[in-house]
């Protein structure tokens, strides 16, 4: 009976507000799918939802959280929630408070104010209950350098209630052939993959990934994404931090951008992207200035701090890229003006992120 | 043993086997002291009781070197390597993590004690213990005490190297104290009281009472009578263990300082 509940909740969570299934629900790899189907039957409470589903649909709830280290307030009133079965990405500049937030969700510390709930429980005071359902990938692995890959994995498996077999976990991240190598001798990317293998070893229903693909080569990163997608397809909830905006755009259902300990932008990935304009960049011929441009439809005024210097390229921000560009090109043809280095970029997460980073410069 | 604790213990035992300096301080130091004692000729002149007194001191040194010193180094290394944080990210309780890491050191120390005791009994002909359970309780309590003391010493030990310095107060205090204490019969009560209160003293006292029925010159007591004499050292030991637990709970750090 519990299984039926699990499936229906997960099914709902995979759908957007319009009811269509999120794209990554399709990208399942068979390895995880088959094993997880097996463990769903055998495991007493895979995502243990009984009693919690009625009260909340969020797997992770962070509300009004503050955390101070001595004089420095790393997190200043952060709120967000991660719905069951979705991938939520926390983005932000260095020192924005992402890792501190992750540590609080993981239950390593207690917030100075506000509350954190994971599967309806306090991850700090109910650590043991929560941890049985939580997979955590820290920013740094924390494995003794003199153990081999297989020994590390076996040690970790030994501490878990219902671990995947060591060989299976290592194969999932393509480390089977490195089993007898000491952790000290692994490359940065291999260590990251080992960390990932250990994070999913306990078959978690909530997965916390702190910069999971830092140091991975492009192929390994794609593999990691494929694995994360297949976990999502199985109903696992993922909270992820990353420096790679394309990673968030690729994987996240919803996201928040943090800056100086606060959430400055949040929403579904599509919403956040839509809040930000497309950009057109070009250079005018010598002697012409920006003021000579015609009025173009859809353009927004640049904030004063961003206005181009005389010899720098001009950047136009627009909500209607095609219209603006058409007008601009028509004007240029009519006046026989050469727009050197012309570039048009659609709105993307990168634009949203740069807006935050540029505020940084304006303050500085 | 709890299987989760064992998983950590097995990994630690592997790491211990791959760490030469830890092996050296665990095995070589007690062996060197034992060899020095054996070759000094003390054992020939002063009879079996004196020999047994020396042996119990030696067992105390095993606790200091193999358990206390090595464990401060190990806990700090694991903290700085972020292993402690990683272990805390799993299902293990804090107590299970500390116990798992300590287990191999305690096992090594116990094995050495068995070897020394057996060697003493066979080669030097020391007497059969008056109260073996009391002796074992002394050893077990001593192991717990020095594990806790090691954990309590880590907050002010920044790196594994600095453990060489930060462990000195406990190491020197215990060594000097246990050497001076039997000798200073006519010392002021305050001084001998302080020496008795040092963490190694109750451990050695309990072992001596259990083995010989006396801590020094007094005539040996029997199995039951010796329990009365054991109350004070047992109380001191319990106080150290409680204090150690409180300090560890309050101030043990699981991650490097930022």
Contact predicate B58/B30, CB 8 Å: yes
Give CA–CA dist B236/B5, Å, rounded.
29
Q: How far is CA B79 from the centre of its chain?
A: 22
pLDDT tens digits for range A170-217? 999 999 999 999 999 999 889 999 999 999 999 999 999 999 998 889
Q: Look at residue A302 in the predicted model and tell me its pLDDT.
A: 57
Q: How far is residue A19's CA from residue A235's CA, in Å, rounded to a whole number?
A: 17
Residue B150 contacts residue B72 (beta carbons within 8 Å) = yes
Q: Residues of chain A whose pLDDT is less than 50?
A: 1-55, 303-306, 362-364
Exposed/middle/buried for B3, CB within 10 Å: 0-12, 13-18, 19+?
exposed
Question: Whole-angstrom Cα distance, residue B91 to residue A127?
Answer: 8
What pTM was computed for the model?
A: 0.81
In chain A, where the domains are located? 9-270, 277-346
Whether chain A has a CB inside 8 Å of the CB on B253: the answer is no
pLDDT of res. A12: 38
* Residue in B6, B19, B84 closest to A158 by CB: B6
Strand partners, A317: A279, A300
CB within 8 Å of A328: residues ≥ 6 apart: A280, A293, A296, A316, A339
Q: Which domain holds residue B234?
A: 3-251
A133 close to A206: Cβ distance less than 8 angstroms? yes
Residue B177 and residue B218: Cα distance in Å, rounded? 20
pLDDT at A273: 84
**Residue A151 to residue B11, Cβ atoms within 8 A:** yes
What does the alpha-carbon distance between residue A281 and residue A336 come to, in Å, rounded to a whole number? 18
Establish if B81 touches chain A: CB-CB under 8 angstroms. Answer: yes
Residue B257 lies in a domain: no
Determine the Cα–Cα distance for residues B71 and A142; give it in Å rounded to an integer: 18
CATH number of A9-270: 3.40.50.300
Cβ-Cβ contacts under 8 Å, A154 against chain B: 7, 11
Closest partner residue to A147 among B14, B84, B87, by Cβ?
B14
Strands A206-210 and A72-83, sheet pairing: unpaired
For residue A308, the model assigns a pLDDT of 54
Burial class (CB in 10 A: 0-12, 13-18, 19+), B253: middle
Under 8 Å between Cβ of B30 and B115 = no
**Number of domains within chain B:** 1
pLDDT at position A330: 94
Residue B5 contacts residue B99 (beta carbons within 8 Å) = yes
Q: Are A290 and A314 in contact (CB under 8 A)?
A: yes
How much is the ipTM here?
Answer: 0.88
Residue B111 inside a domain? The answer is yes
Q: Which of A123, A142, A192, A207 is the best substitution to test chain B (most B C-beta atoms within 10 A)? A: A142
Q: Which residues of chain A have a CB within 8 Å of the CB of B258?
A: 69
Mean pLDDT, 10 residues at a time, chain B of 258 residues: 90 93 81 74 62 82 90 96 94 94 94 86 80 93 97 95 93 82 72 86 91 79 86 96 96 89
Q: Coil, strand, or helix at residue A102?
A: helix
Q: Which of A108, A146, A157 sits opposite B15 (nearest CB)?
A: A146
Q: How far apart are CA B203 and CA B192, in angstroms?
A: 16
Q: Identify whether the C-beta of residue B53 lies closer than 8 Å to the C-beta of residue B182.
A: yes
CA distance B241 to B255: 24
Count of CB atoms situated within 10 Å of the CB of B66: 28
Which three-class secondary structure state does DSSP give residue A257? strand
Least Cα distance to A68 among A122, A105, A110 occurs for A110
Residue B114 within a domain: yes
For residue A364, the cross-strand partners are: none
Which run of H or of E encompasses B21?
helix B20-23
Say what the pLDDT of residue A272 is.
Answer: 86
Q: Which residues contact A67 (CB under 8 A, 6 or more apart)?
A: A73, A74, A75, A97, A100, A104, A109, A111, A112
Rounded to whole angstroms, the Cα distance separating B229 from B216 reads: 12
């Amino acid at each position: 009976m519990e299984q039926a509940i699990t499936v229906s909740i997960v099914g709902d969570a995979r759908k957007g507000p319009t009811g269509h299934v999120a794209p990554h629900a399709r990208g399942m790899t068979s390895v995880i799918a088959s094993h997880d189907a097996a463990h769903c039957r055998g495991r007493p409470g895979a995502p243990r939802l009984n009693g919690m589903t009625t009260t909340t649909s969020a797997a992770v709830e962070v509300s009004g959280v503050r955390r101070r280290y001595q004089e420095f307030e790393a997190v200043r009133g952060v709120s967000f929630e991660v719905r069951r079965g979705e991938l939520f990405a926390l983005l932000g500049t260095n020192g924005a408070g992402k890792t501190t937030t992750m540590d609080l969700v993981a239950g390593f510390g207690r917030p100075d104010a506000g509350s954190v709930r994971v599967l309806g429980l306090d991850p700090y005071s109910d650590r043991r209950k929560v941890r049985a359902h939580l997979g955590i990938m820290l920013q740094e692995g924390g494995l003794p350098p003199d153990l081999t890959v297989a020994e590390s994995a076996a040690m970790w498996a030994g501490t878990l209630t219902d671990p995947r077999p060591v060989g299976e976990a290592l194969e999932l991240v393509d480390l089977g052939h490195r089993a007898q190598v000491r952790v000290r001798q692994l490359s940065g990317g291999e260590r990251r993959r080992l960390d990932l293998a250990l994070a999913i070893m306990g078959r978690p229903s909530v997965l916390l990934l702190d910069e999971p693909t830092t140091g991975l080569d492009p192929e390994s990163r794609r593999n990691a994404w494929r694995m994360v997608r297949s976990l999502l397809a199985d109903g696992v909830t993922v909270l992820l931090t990353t420096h790679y905006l394309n990673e968030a755009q690729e994987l996240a259902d919803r996201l928040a951008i943090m800056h100086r300990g606060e959430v400055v932008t949040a929403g579904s990935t599509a919403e956040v992207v839509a809040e930000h304009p497309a950009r057109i960049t070009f250079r005018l011929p010598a002697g012409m200035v920006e003021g000579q441009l015609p009025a173009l439809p859809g353009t927004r005024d640049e904030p004063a701090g961003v206005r181009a210097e005389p010899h720098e390229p001009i950047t136009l921000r627009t909500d209607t890229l095609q219209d603006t560009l058409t007008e601009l090109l028509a004007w240029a043809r009519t006046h026989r003006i050469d727009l050197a280095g012309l570039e048009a970029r659609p709105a993307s997460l990168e634009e949203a992120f740069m807006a935050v980073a540029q505020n940084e410069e304006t303050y500085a | 043993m709890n299987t989760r604790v064992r998983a950590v213990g097995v990994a630690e035992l592997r790491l211990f086997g791959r760490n030469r300096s830890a092996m050296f301080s665990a095995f070589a130091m007690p062996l060197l002291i034992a060899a020095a004692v054996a070759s000094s000729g003390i054992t020939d002149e002063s009879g079996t009781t004196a020999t047994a007194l020396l042996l119990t001191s030696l067992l105390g040194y095993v606790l200091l070197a193999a358990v206390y010193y090595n464990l401060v180094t190990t806990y700090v290394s694991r903290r700085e390597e972020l292993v402690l944080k990683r272990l805390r990210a799993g299902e293990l309780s804090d107590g299970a993590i500390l116990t798992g890491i300590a287990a191999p050191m305690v096992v090594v120390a116990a094995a050495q004690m068995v070897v020394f005791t057996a060697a003493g009994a066979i080669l030097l002909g020391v007497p059969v213990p008056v109260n073996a359970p009391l002796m074992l309780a002394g050893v077990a309590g001593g192991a717990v005490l020095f594990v806790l003391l090691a954990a309590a010493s880590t907050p002010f030990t920044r790196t594994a190297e600095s453990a060489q310095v930060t462990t000195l107060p406990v190491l020197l205090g215990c060594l000097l104290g246990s050497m001076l204490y039997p000798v200073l019969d006519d010392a002021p009560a305050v001084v001998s009281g302080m020496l008795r209160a040092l963490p190694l003293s109750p451990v050695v006292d309990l072992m001596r009472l259990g083995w010989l029925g006396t801590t020094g010159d007094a005539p040996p007591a029997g199995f039951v009578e010796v329990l009365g004499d054991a109350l004070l050292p047992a109380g001191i030991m319990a106080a150290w263990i409680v204090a150690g637990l409180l300090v560890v709970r309050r101030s043990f750090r699981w991650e490097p300082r930022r």
